[in-house]
Structure 1
Amino acid sequence: MTAYNEDSIRSLDWKEHIRLRPGMYIGKLGDGSAYDDGIYVLLKEVVDNSIDEFVMGAGKTIEITVNEHKVSVRDYGRGIPIGSVVDVVSKINTGGKYDSKAFQKSVGLNGVGTKAVNALSTSFVVQSYRDGKTRIAEFSKGELVKDEEKTTTQRNGTAVTFYPDDSIFRNYHYRLEFVENMIWNYVFLNSGLTVNFNGQKFVSENGLKDLLERNIDTESMRYPIIHLKGDDIEVAITHGQQYGEEYYSFVNGQHTTQGGTHQAAFREAVVKTVREFYKKDFDASDIRASIIGAIAIKVQEPVFESQTKTKLGSQNIGPEGPTVRTFINDFVKKALDDYLHKHSDTAEALQKRILQSERERKDIAGIKKLANERAKKASLHNRKLRDCKIHYGENHELAQQTTLFITEGDSASGSITKSRDVQTQAVFSLKGKPLNAFGLTKKVVYENEEFNLLQHALNIEDGLDGLRYNNIVIATDADVDGMHIRLLLMTFFLQFFPDLVKAGHVSILQTPLFRVRNKKETIYCYSDEERQRAILKLGGKPEITRFKGLGEISPEEFGLFIGKDMRLDPVILSKEQKIIQLLEYYMGKNTPDRQKHIVNNLRIEVDIAEEQKIAEEELVA
């Protein structure tokens, strides 16, 4: 037994602790392929401080630049007090957010944010401009390396530039789509704010109404967006054609991607108000089916369930205020009821949507009951699912890392199962190609055993509240059949669970196409260009192996590709992409447009060989 005495006790300083346990402060690390990876949390922590300045009436413009690994944020607020610049970014539990008069309804209250960014960056520079003076402090991994003060003619405000530490965030890169979504949320929630990002201007006039219009297909809306605003609360509601429920919830400008007490109260309040308006006891699931809603509230001293602030735990609006539940219920009851009385067309369209959901629910009730009983029995000994020990939503620091790999065939699932992390990684094995779900009703989810078992494995039948894995990773071979299975699975998710994709939970696993090695070194290559570079690097005549399928990769090697260096391609829907049109084009009947696209993009072997020859010549040069 290991000795346990006074020598076993260690005391870490702030930067050592953050670097040793970064997950406690910024959630999962990741390489930037997921919207909630740590590099985006670093950016958010810095921008949050600028937003707090705007909320307090100081500075209407924020400038953000993301250029490869360099991130810069400049605001025109009051500027950090000159004498406190170093302390604010390097002393835990130091900051202006503890003074409730200076920051009444701030996003960050625990004095950790910028300290975590500082400690997890190879270079972190903060500069405050205040009343003709400026102070510049430069750090490296939390260590102060430069501190100077001088006069300036620049406008008041704060500038922060940092480079995330690539020894912690391995192979990272910022996906600009994720950064843009973050910035859009900031401007939607802060009327009058302008954010200039990489030369593009972001501004919103209609708040959450603009948010819904940007994130949904407006052509599929059953009625115009209901937009309601009050003191410290704003909501927007509509119903679409999609399955499931979709919510965007915010607290003090923070996007609470996992919801919390405010989102639960909002869902409850909508059901209660609708029942009372129509004087009919509709089933809650029929009222909320296909709903798309957004809610933003402001709370004094909010309590979140983790440092990354993705789920609100506060029960009260403030120290002396009502409960969150009462506050939201009272507002929605009056504002939504008034709106429906004044807009009879919207009230009629909403009622038709509810009655349609009721008919659809009753139509599949019988098959749903049988399917759920079958799934319940299968779950006791589900050979398709190799589960993990920790699940998403649990109060555990590894919950953000939970992953379900969806594989094709037993050989691939066998390799992943043997090499996975049993704490956070689960495997679901498909048998052959799944059904093309495009154009089918949700009844097929219960009739098709494989779809039903997958739905139960994810626990998303009644929405995302019970989602068991943060990352759903499609892991198929990089051949024609594997690509087809990817499309079929993405069609399934987009057809029946589009909110799962929109929330950034679905990704494609990249696995190496080649292994290039000699006696001293092995290099795994994910493209032909990488293969050519590896050959040049190793020199001579290295051994080259082409992986045709995941089953050919040994469990020992597979462990290298699903660990800290895992490469993922997120499934991202842009505003321009309409789900129905997208699925119709790729997964519908063989339309003339698709035939024309295929013919125009056919590649023949001679072209590929010629391109490879040119590429090799360029690399040698």
Structure 2
Amino acid sequence: MINHQYTEANIRSLDWREHIRLRPGMYIGKLGDGSAQDDGIYVLFKEVIDNSIDEYVMGYGKRIDIQLTASQVTVRDFGRGIPLGKVVDCVSKINTGGKYDTQSFQKSVGLNGVGTKAVNALSAHFKAQSFREGKTKVAIFSQGKLLEESPIQDTKEKDGTLISFEPDPTLFNNFRFLPHFVEEQLWNYAFLNAGLKIYLNGQEYFSKNGLLDLLNRKTDEESLCYPIIHMKDTDIEIALTHNNQYGEEYYSFVNGQFTTQGGTHLAAFKEAFAKTIRDFYKKDFDATDIRASVVGAISVRVQEPVFESQTKTKLGSQQIGPEGPSIRTFINDFVKRELDNYLHKNPETAEALLSRILQSERERKDIAGIKKLANERAKKASLHNKKLRDCRIHYNTTHKDRDNSMVFITEGNSASGSITKSRDVQTQAVFSLRGKPLNCFGYTKKLVYENEELNLLQHALNIEDGLEGLRYRKVIIATDADVDGMHIRLLILTYFLQFFPELVRNGHVYLLETPLFRVRNKQKTLYCYNETEKQQAIQQLGKQPEITRFKGLGEISADEFKNFIGTQMRIEPVTLRKETSIHQLLSFYMGKNTQERQNFIIDNLKIERDFAEANAASAKVLESIS
């Protein structure tokens, strides 16, 4: 019989830094390497910026300067500056901060005494410097331990705070800050704080019109059914329109925080929008028809908000404030009043909006029959789906490892066979395509239900009705690094961008990088992902090592493949640039063979000597997408 002793000796007390470093997920979510937008290093960045934003919201400092490298961040604001006698305490003592004083910070976004401490504890190098009334003080830390504290000195610098940090590489393996993820964060800050100027490595981020500017940046004017509706009042701002893409697209914010998983405020907005439209047109439209192809943004400010996680991605609050109305009532009253007034004053917009709803209604009824049959086939196939080798842990559950859930989309039995044999069956699934998928550009969603393979793929991902039930955190396209493999990549991306663009916008789609060369001698084996790495390996091993060039994923044995889809896996996120119009992008690359595209191919064509060069060339084709 096992004797489990439980005595005073089993009780441990951790100091603040030990607790954060032992359980970082409680404070910043998953660690990650920076390849995903919700990786921990971007949460660290956000926590530092949030403090500077709170200063601006309180009326202090209209400029924030940021210096960013692949591994280090420095943020300088021009707010009031941390009180000099509390610089060390504010960044290293839990439950110490100015945001407990509601007179100093109203409706702040900062972590109320925890955020900067988490950054400090999880950084290999952390520097805090305050400038205040002609005086300055510096404190330097490593992994939360104070290394150096300067005395208070004179300075000619303007008031404010400087924070510099470098995430700890022992916690964040092979991490790097990807500029486009940081840029997206900064644009959101600019849109939510009209008038604030933010500079990243000298580039300005500035918005004059708030969420109106956000939707202008996120949409293509030519695809809009009517001009963007912009409504604003104390503690609430909303912008919305309809375009011709599939799905619903929302950007929701609370106290300046981008709530990527929505929450009570977004649910209230969607409900209020549908109700107001029904009342205005005096027709009982289906809510899915009203919201189909909608693009919307909502920002609210709440006193003492309650989030469903430490990283604040979903609002749980039911009230605007301790003595205020419910969030549902507050948003419903605002939308009913402002949107109804707007539609009465702008009959052309009202007519265009009605036309878009009726079009969605016709499309839904048009595919209703075939959708039912396709779903029945998919349901039967799911019981014996030979295309899908599923995993045990899924993203749409509450499992602690849900963020590690992923699916590899492969082409052919040989490639899927290698991955299937070497994968982690707990978190890694494989979906195998049969040959090249259909080019979906220009088709309606009816095609998805008519094409058995595409229908099975949407059911495997569980994205038919949106991303709420998405089964995998990462959807990874795994194809050969040759011309055919690159073409398959583009065809799969076309399918997602045409019918499920929110899957790409929300950072769920990735490209798998696999080695192109194996260089080895009797003592050592090195795997190389490009020509440069191959030459470096040859120099390292010397004496004419054996060189193997992999022509496809199927040539890599399962024993070898497990090294490339484990902790050292290389994946590149597929992201949409601010200037990218999905319709124009797909029209150029996947539409008819226009003279413009012929000229592009001729100008960029070169004879490829090996697959490394082919892979690099294909990246140029994908440049507008990822």
Where on the TM-score scale, by shorter chain, does this alignment land: which range? over 0.9
What runs of 5+ residues in structure 1 fail to find an aligned partner?
612-621
SS of the residue corresponding to residue 433 of structure 1 reads: coil
The residue number in structure 2 matching 1:300 is 303
Give distance in 2, aligned partners of 1:67 and 1:610.
Answer: 27
SS of the residue corresponding to residue 511 of structure 2 reads: strand
Asked if the contact 1:27–1:400 (Cα under 8 Å) also holds between the matched residues in 2, the reply is no
- How far residue 542 of structure 1 moved from its aligned partner, in angstroms, is 2.3
The residue number in structure 2 matching 1:18 is 20
Asked if the contact 2:481–2:611 (Cα under 8 Å) also holds between the matched residues in 1, the reply is no
Asked if the contact 2:47–2:111 (Cα under 8 Å) also holds between the matched residues in 1, the reply is no
- How far residue 539 of structure 1 moved from its aligned partner, in angstroms, is 2.3
Give distance in 2, aligned partners of 1:20 and 1:518.
Answer: 40
The worse-fitting range, judged by mean Cα deviation, of 487-496 and 87-96 is 87-96
The residue number in structure 1 matching 2:401 is 398
Q: Deviations over 1:332-386 (max 9, x none)?
A: 1111111101100000000000001111111111000111111122222322223
SS of the residue corresponding to residue 188 of structure 1 reads: helix
Give distance in 2, aligned partners of 1:41 and 1:279.
Answer: 45
Equivalences for residues 132-151 of structure 1 within 5 A:
132-149=134-151, 150-151=153-154
Aligned AA for 2:342? Y
Alignment of 1:60 with 2:62, yes or no, is yes
The residue number in structure 2 matching 1:478 is 481
Q: Deviations over 1:287-340 (max 9, x none)?
A: 011000000001111111211111111122122222211111111111111110
- How far residue 224 of structure 1 moved from its aligned partner, in angstroms, is 0.2
- How far residue 2 of structure 1 moved from its aligned partner, in angstroms, is 8.0
SS of the residue corresponding to residue 561 of structure 1 reads: coil
Give distance in 1, aligned partners of 2:158 and 2:613.
Answer: 57
Equivalences for residues 176-575 of structure 1 within 5 A:
176-575=179-578
What runs of 5+ residues in structure 2 fail to find an aligned partner?
615-626
- How far residue 56 of structure 1 moved from its aligned partner, in angstroms, is 1.1
Give distance in 2, aligned partners of 1:347 and 1:605.
Answer: 55
Q: 1:73 to 1:206 in 2, by over 3 A?
A: same
Alignment of 1:154 with 2:157, yes or no, is yes
The residue number in structure 2 matching 1:45 is 47
Q: 1:386 to 1:552 in 2, by over 3 A?
A: same
Alignment of 1:592 with 2:590, yes or no, is no
Asked if the contact 1:187–1:194 (Cα under 8 Å) also holds between the matched residues in 2, the reply is yes
- How far residue 606 of structure 1 moved from its aligned partner, in angstroms, is 7.5
Asked if the contact 1:98–1:109 (Cα under 8 Å) also holds between the matched residues in 2, the reply is no
The residue number in structure 2 matching 1:69 is 71
Asked if the contact 1:125–1:139 (Cα under 8 Å) also holds between the matched residues in 2, the reply is yes
The residue number in structure 1 matching 2:116 is 114
- How far residue 607 of structure 1 moved from its aligned partner, in angstroms, is 11
Give distance in 1, aligned partners of 2:324 and 2:390.
Answer: 43
Q: Deviations over 1:579-614 (max 9, x none)?
A: 112111211122222222222322236899999xxx
Q: 1:561 to 1:593 in 2, by over 3 A?
A: same
Corresponding residue pairs, total: 611
The worse-fitting range, judged by mean Cα deviation, of 579-588 and 336-345 is 579-588
The worse-fitting range, judged by mean Cα deviation, of 184-193 and 545-554 is 545-554
Q: Deviations over 1:550-590 (max 9, x none)?
A: 22223333232222222221212212222112111211122
Give distance in 2, aligned partners of 1:182 and 1:2.
Answer: 52
Give distance in 1, aligned partners of 2:317 and 2:424.
Answer: 33
Aligned AA for 1:368? K
Give distance in 2, aligned partners of 1:267 and 1:465.
Answer: 14
The residue number in structure 1 matching 2:624 is none
Q: 1:605 to 1:253 in 2, by over 3 A?
A: closer
Give distance in 1, aligned partners of 2:16 and 2:399.
Answer: 22
Asked if the contact 1:30–1:564 (Cα under 8 Å) also holds between the matched residues in 2, the reply is no
Give distance in 2, aligned partners of 1:313 and 1:389.
Answer: 29
The residue number in structure 2 matching 1:104 is 106
The residue number in structure 2 matching 1:615 is none
Q: 1:324 to 1:401 in 2, by over 3 A?
A: farther
- How far residue 9 of structure 1 moved from its aligned partner, in angstroms, is 4.2
The worse-fitting range, judged by mean Cα deviation, of 253-262 and 112-121 is 112-121
Asked if the contact 1:23–1:397 (Cα under 8 Å) also holds between the matched residues in 2, the reply is no
SS of the residue corresponding to residue 468 of structure 2 reads: helix
The residue number in structure 1 matching 2:36 is 34
Q: 1:607 to 1:563 in 2, by over 3 A?
A: closer
SS of the residue corresponding to residue 464 of structure 1 reads: coil
Give distance in 2, aligned partners of 1:312 and 1:607.
Answer: 51
SS of the residue corresponding to residue 364 of structure 1 reads: helix
Asked if the contact 1:408–1:429 (Cα under 8 Å) also holds between the matched residues in 2, the reply is yes
- How far residue 549 of structure 1 moved from its aligned partner, in angstroms, is 1.8
- How far residue 135 of structure 1 moved from its aligned partner, in angstroms, is 1.4
Asked if the contact 2:31–2:39 (Cα under 8 Å) also holds between the matched residues in 1, the reply is yes
The worse-fitting range, judged by mean Cα deviation, of 238-247 and 413-422 is 413-422
Q: Deviations over 1:181-205 (max 9, x none)?
A: 1101001001221101110111101
Asked if the contact 1:186–1:253 (Cα under 8 Å) also holds between the matched residues in 2, the reply is yes
Q: Deviations over 1:472-513 (max 9, x none)?
A: 111111122211111100000111111221222211111111
Q: 1:89 to 1:424 in 2, by over 3 A?
A: farther
- How far residue 39 of structure 1 moved from its aligned partner, in angstroms, is 1.5
Q: Deviations over 1:107-152 (max 9, x none)?
A: 1344221122112211110111122221111111111111112222
The worse-fitting range, judged by mean Cα deviation, of 285-294 and 528-537 is 528-537
Give distance in 2, aligned partners of 1:108 and 1:420.
Answer: 40
Q: 1:11 to 1:427 in 2, by over 3 A?
A: farther
Give distance in 2, aligned partners of 1:296 and 1:314.
Answer: 14
Q: 1:159 to 1:216 in 2, by over 3 A?
A: same
Asked if the contact 1:364–1:443 (Cα under 8 Å) also holds between the matched residues in 2, the reply is yes
Q: 1:387 to 1:516 in 2, by over 3 A?
A: same
Give distance in 2, aligned partners of 1:247 and 1:535.
Answer: 50
The worse-fitting range, judged by mean Cα deviation, of 94-103 and 524-533 is 94-103
Asked if the contact 1:24–1:397 (Cα under 8 Å) also holds between the matched residues in 2, the reply is no
Alignment of 1:602 with 2:605, yes or no, is yes
Q: 1:184 to 1:598 in 2, by over 3 A?
A: same
Q: 1:540 to 1:317 in 2, by over 3 A?
A: same
Alignment of 1:583 with 2:581, yes or no, is no
- How far residue 8 of structure 1 moved from its aligned partner, in angstroms, is 4.5
